Amino acid sequence: MPSNASLQHHALPPVFALATGSGRGAIAIIRVSGAGSDTILHTLAGRLPFPRRASFRKLWRNAALHEDHLDDAVVIWSPGPNSYTGEDSFELHLHAGPAIISAVADALVETGARPAEPGEFTRRAFMHGRVDLTEAEGIADLIEAETETQRKQALAQADGALGSLYKNWATRLRSVLAQQEALIDFPDEELPPEVEHALLAEIATLNTEIRHHLADGERGERIRRGLVFSIVGPPNAGKSSLLNLLAERDAAIVSPIAGTTRDTIEIATILAGVKVTFVDTAGLRETSDPIEAEGVRRAMFHVEHSDFVLQLFPSDQPYPTVIPQALPVCNKTDLAPAPATLDQHPVLGISLQNGDGVAELRKTLEREALKLTQGSGPPPLTRARHRAAAEAASTSLEAALSMDWPEMRGEELRLAMRALGRLTGEVGVEDILDTIFGQFCIGK
């Protein structure tokens, strides 16, 4: 039985949190979950409403005595196990005034509830077996999603797309392990070779599937964190002008003085439904100014660490050497024509002054964003945690394949099993739960 399911009937104390944002709003939702939620709701609202149905109620510090009217609210009572957390829980939909929220919070504390830790509701849903770890991560990603690609990826993961992939592997591996164990018990001379063959073939197939999953070009992680596109090139090329155009605002200072930008400026945008952060950098040149030199060093760092590098240079100056991984773009074609190629790389000509080539550049950037994030087949992994565990599983399967000794093979298969179990949170995850759920926002 998975370790989280063994806690299924363990009643946890009641916690509460504001589920809605902290800014101005019309309605604020406070969610309460845990043992004794029924008593708490009864204290505040009187008789319990029909389960999972929105009901209008006057809220009081003590409803029985009509003592201290707090708000007129909509209340939803969700007894466990058919609730988000799997526990008895309820929601108070309040008027969103800060004084109301704090008065209701005080009343809840008085009834014995405590404020929830970040991610505690979803952590409880996980502990009660309502979601696996990948689904819980998907819920966190859904809340953070800013773009269509992030939203779709997070929703698929929250709905179990990644979890069912991993559980399918775990189920098949479990069966391989069972057969392997049966083999070990066979006397040597009676070892049925066709059984062992089939077993090795299944291990190889599993490993191929996991390898394929790992060779995803990191697109899931890229979608999740967003892409970084940096703009580098000589001073005065128009890098900051281009950043401002892409940001649709005057984010960076533009001037005819070479060396205007000395620090890196990052602007997050959405390109073809993908989160893309553009980085404007200091113009690349030899300089005796230590501050500008540090800016140049940072620009070079971005050349190495970006998902995509746009090398911008002006048409009216000596051409730079093309940076191998960069897309060369020649600006200021209003002053002089752009070269067709530079060091055998095709060059895109643009003028930020008159707009020539800008639409084409934008299309190229969108194509690049899609190329780095699109793919087909099963859903991609989305976190370093998934990558590490899948790598570990594959390493163990490969070790198992290379072993003749059934006992040793069994040990490697068990290690692979553990690695897969960590992915969905079935085994050995106690140590990482604080990290994973701690990254959730409060109230989730």
Ligand X SMILES: Nc1nc2c(ncn2[C@@H]2O[C@H](COP(=O)(O)OP(=O)(O)OP(=O)(O)O)[C@@H](O)[C@H]2O)c(=O)[nH]1
Q: Which residues bind ligand X (CB under 6 A)?
A: 235-241, 254-256, 258-261, 282-283, 331-332, 334-335, 351-353
Our finding on whether 311 is near Mg ion (CB under 5 A) is: no
Task: Annotate 90-118 with DSSP letters as a single string.
Answer: EEEEEE--HHHHHHHHHHHHHTT-EEPPT
Beta bridge partners of 50: none
Q: Degrees (nearest 5) of the Cα angle 430, 174, 127?
A: 30
**By CB under 6 A, is residue 83 in contact with ligand FFO?**
yes
* Using rule CB under 6 A, residue 25 touches ligand FFO: no
Q: How far apart are CA 358 and CA 164, in angstroms?
A: 44
Among the residue ranges 80-88, 257-265, 312-320, 422-430, the one whose residues contact ligand FFO (CB under 6 A): 80-88
Min dist. Cβ of residue 230 to Mg ion (A): 13
Which element (helix H / strand E) includes 30? strand 27-33
Binders of Mg ion among residues 275 to 304 (CB under 5 A) are: none
Site string for ligand FFO, 40-59 (x = CB under 6 A): ------------x-------
Ligand-binding annotation for 43, yes or no, is no
CB under 8 Å to 407, separation ≥6 — which residues? 184
Using CB under 6 A as the binding criterion, the count of chain residues that bind ligand FFO stands at 6
Least Å distance, CB 264 to ligand X, is 11
Tokens matching residue 227: 């892409």
Task: Give me the least distance between CB of 83 and ligand FFO, in Å please.
Answer: 5
Residue from the set 261, 269, 351, 373 that interacts with Mg ion by CB under 5 A: 261
Packed helices 133-144 and 430-438: angle between N→C axes, nearest 10 degrees:
10
Q: Other CB atoms closer than 10 Å to residue 253's CB: what's the count?
A: 13
Q: Could you write out the DSSP letters of every residue in 283-295?
A: -----S-HHHHHH
> Closest distance between ligand FFO and the C-beta of residue 88, in Å?
12
Annotated binding-site residue? 134: no
26, 50 Cβ separation under 8 angstroms = no
Q: Which is nearer to ligand FFO, 62 or 82 (CB)?
A: 82
Dihedral angle of Cα 124, 126, 130, 133, to the nearest 10 degrees: 160
Is 51 annotated in a binding site? The answer is: no
Nearest approach, Cβ of residue 52 and ligand FFO (Å): 5
Residue 374 touches which of Mg ion, ligand X, ligand FFO, none (CB < 5 to 8 A by kind)?
none
Q: Which residue has the tokens 């752009």?
A: 338
**Site membership for ligand FFO, residue 78 (CB under 6 A):** yes
User: Per CB under 5 A, which region of 208-216, 259-267, 342-350, 402-410 contacts Mg ion?
Assistant: 259-267
DSSP state of 141: H
Task: State the DSSP code for 355.
Answer: -
Interacting residue with ligand FFO among 6, 22, 62, 82 (CB under 6 A)? 82
Could you give the string, one character per residue 257-276, with x where binding to ligand FFO holds by CB under 6 A and - elsewhere? --------------------
Is there binding between residue 4 and ligand FFO (CB under 6 A)?
A: no
Q: Are strands 326-331 and 308-314 parallel, antiparallel or unpaired?
A: parallel
- Taking the C-alpha atoms of residue 192 and residue 197, their distance in angstroms, rounded to an integer, is 9
How far apart are the C-alpha atoms of 175 and 121, rounded to whole Å?
Answer: 34
Name the segment binding Mg ion (CB under 5 A); options: 65-73, 190-198, 236-244, 308-316. 236-244
Q: Is 277 helix (H, G, I), strand (E, B) or coil?
A: strand
**Could you tell which of Mg ion, ligand X, ligand FFO, none binds residue 219, using a CB distance below 5 to 8 A set by kind?**
none
Q: Does 197 bind ligand FFO (CB under 6 A)?
A: no
CA distance 273 to 207: 33
The least distance separating ligand X from the CB of residue 318, rounded to whole angstroms, comes to 15
**Which range binds ligand FFO by CB under 6 A, 82-90, 206-214, 229-237, 372-380?**
82-90
For residues 134 and 240, which CB has a smaller minimum distance to Mg ion in the complex?
240
Minimal distance, residue 110 CB to ligand FFO, in Å:
24
Residues 320 and 341: their CA atoms lie apart, in Å, by 12
**Pick from 418, 413, 419: nearest CA to 183:** 413
Burial of 248 (0-12, 13-18, 19+ CB in 10 A): exposed
| Residue nearer to ligand FFO on the CB measure, 83 or 287 | 83
Nearest to 155 by CA among 170, 169, 140: 140
Least distance from C-beta 242 to ligand X, angstroms? 7
- In the sheet that holds 274-280, the strands lie side by side as 265-271, 274-280, 227-232, 308-314, 326-331, 348-349
Give the nearest residue (CB) to ligand X. 283
Binding site for Mg(2+): what residues are annotated? Answer: 240, 261
Residues within the interface to Mg ion (CB under 5 A)? 239-240, 260-261
Residues within the interface to ligand FFO (CB under 6 A)? 52, 78, 82-84, 91
